Amino acid sequence: MSTVAVVVIVIVVLVVLAVAGYFARAQARRRGLQERFGPEYDRAVKDHESTREAEQELLARQKRHDQLEIRPLAPEVRERHLGEWRQVQERFVDAPETAVSEADRLIHQVMSERGYPTDEGYEQQVADLSVEHAATIGRYRQAHDIGSRAGSGQASTEDLRQAMVHYRALFTELLDIGDDANATNHATDRAAEPDAAGAETTAAPATETGARGETAEEEAEAERDGTAPRTKTGAKVKAAAERAETDTKTRARTTAGRRTARRDDEGA
């Protein structure tokens, strides 16, 4: 075999190896982006003309995020924000639109204290959050959309309740409480409990839950948030049953009295 032939073969092998290495790196990069961004990866691909452009944007998000000084919250700051969240969800009962607006404001405040820029617009906030909070960024988008519609009166109370549930998901992550995540749940549980003196039956019939079409997870989150719709059906049914029982006993006593009086008249 001539020297030229050997050189050609070597060059071909090197080219093949280079191409194979390029595609292997591209596949590894793609898997890494898919694992990190989850549904956000699919959304980016859908919003761009090519997968390559979408991946370049996601890589740019990562690079920008690496340059941010994201820091955890001090324990006392977390507790303060938990207290503020309890106040927001308590306000939902009487002023749902106001509560949703304040929930959004609280998200911005926590973002700022964690080190996220909050003065570059909503889309940039979403891009920054998506790097570490890809699992909940879709819910943040939904909550923001509902809040925007509420401003023009196009969001129902149920929509606003869903917005609170979605905001809560991101709020919990932003607190960065790790294994102590149950602390947030317990705190919101306490805020959702009515006073003992004025407590009312709040369990909705199974058919009503089905009509709203909510999942068990959403129902549980709503109960923790204190934003689940309340119903007095149980109390009303109980009161009606008690009145019916009282009426029945009264009629029975009246009938017995009339029969006794009739027998006395006949005996006389």
Q: Do residue 60 and residue 133 come from a single domain?
A: no
**Residue 213 in this model has a pLDDT that exceeds 50:** no
How far, in Å, CA of 157 to CA of 146, rounded?
A: 10
Co-location of 146 and 21 in the same domain: no
In order, the DSSP letters of 54-84 are HHHHHHHHHHHHHHS---PPPHHHHHHHHHH
Q: What's the domain range around 26?
A: 3-67
Instruction: Give whole-number Cα distances, 148 to 144, 155, 159, in Å.
Output: 6, 9, 11
Average of per-residue pLDDT across 160-165: 96
Q: Do 96 and 154 belong to one domain?
A: yes
pLDDT per position as a tens digit, 86-111? 999 999 999 999 999 999 999 999 99
Q: Is residue 201 one of the residues assigned to a domain? A: no
**Average pLDDT of the residues in 36-62:** 92
What is the pLDDT of the chain when averaged over all its residues? 76
pLDDT surpassing 60 at residue 252: no
Say which residue the tokens 């009166």 belong to. Answer: 153
Assess if residue 246 is contained within a domain.
no
Least confident range from 38-42, 69-73, 244-248: namely 244-248
What does each C-alpha distance from 253 to 93, 239, 241, 261 come to in angstroms?
46, 21, 19, 12
d(CA 129, CA 175): 13
Q: Into how many domains does the chain fold?
A: 2
pLDDT tens for residues 195-210?
333 333 333 333 334 4
| 253 within a domain of the structure (yes/no) | no
Confidence (pTM): 0.63
For the residues 184-201, what does the mean pLDDT come to?
A: 40
SS3 135: helix
Q: Residue 248's pLDDT is what? A: 57
Is 55 in the same domain as 80? no
**Could you tell me if 118 and 177 lie in one domain?**
yes
pLDDT value of residue 221: 58
Task: Tell which wins on pLDDT, 17 or 146.
Answer: 146
Burial class of residue 88, CB neighbours in 10 A (0-12, 13-18, 19+):
buried
Residue 5: what pLDDT? 77
Residue 143 in this model has a pLDDT that exceeds 50: yes
Whether residues 10 and 116 fall in one domain: no
CA dist., res. 69 & res. 145, Å (int): 28
Residue 263 lies in a domain: no
240-251 average pLDDT score: 57
Distances in Å between the Cα of 241 and the Cα atoms of 205, 206, 236, 255 are 17, 21, 9, 21
